[in-house]
Amino acid sequence: MNTLFRFVVGLLFLPACFVQTHVFYASLRQIKTLDGNEIYFVYGVFGYFLIHTLLFKPVSLYMWAHEAVHALVTMVFGGAVQSVKVSKKGGETKTTKTNLMVEIAPYFTPLYTFLLCAVTFILVRLFDLEAWQDFFFFLIGFSLTFHVVMTVDFLKTKQPDLLRLGPFLSVEVIYLGNLFVAVFILAFVFPEVSPGNYFVNAFTETGLAYKQIYQQLFL
């Protein structure tokens, strides 16, 4: 995929990014109240921002998750992991197989958040953990914000994972992927958020946007 072609495809993706940002915002507006447990999710969001801004950036923790997702997705596609190296300067996962999904999946996969959601889902059905639900919601908000903020930080640097699609198109795909994932995470905490409605509205409104652009340009 040459540079010009990637740039043109990136331009074509821009309307989808704008429309789906609007749909995501509309999903957030469905959250009417922040009573009870849900408010602790918000506390987690602000808690991570404070640590990241005022104290330190947990780079190594992010890199372990980043490289772990590389390894997991590689195995999903039938490849084998040869080695994993992580440091504060970056990480490297050597595998026998790679593809586009292997390369960019870590940028829209909040591994720690998924693990927390899975643990919470299982434990609340096995034990009476109502008193701990606030703590779990705090950690989910904290870990999701950690993933998003650290991903933005790393995208500011030149990442070899983005070479296949190029930086412009890669950032768009990663952005859309993070919106999709965030809707599922938010639905786990906030009953008003519906992933089904989000996907239907995103598909419908994106289609209408491209139709209107086509009519303006060619009809």
pLDDT digit of tens for each residue in the chain (219 aa)? 577 788 888 898 999 999 999 999 999 888 877 767 788 999 999 999 999 999 999 998 999 999 999 899 999 888 888 888 887 677 788 888 888 888 889 999 999 999 999 988 888 777 776 667 788 889 999 999 999 999 999 888 767 777 677 788 888 999 999 999 999 999 988 888 999 999 999 999 999 999 998 888 876
Residue 95 belongs to what H/E stretch? strand 90-95
Q: Are 147 and 112 in contact (CB under 8 A)?
A: yes
Q: Which amino acid is at 112?
A: Y
What is the value of pTM for the model shown? 0.89
DSSP element (H, E) containing 94: strand 90-95
Apex 150 CA angle, 149 and 156, nearest 5 = 95
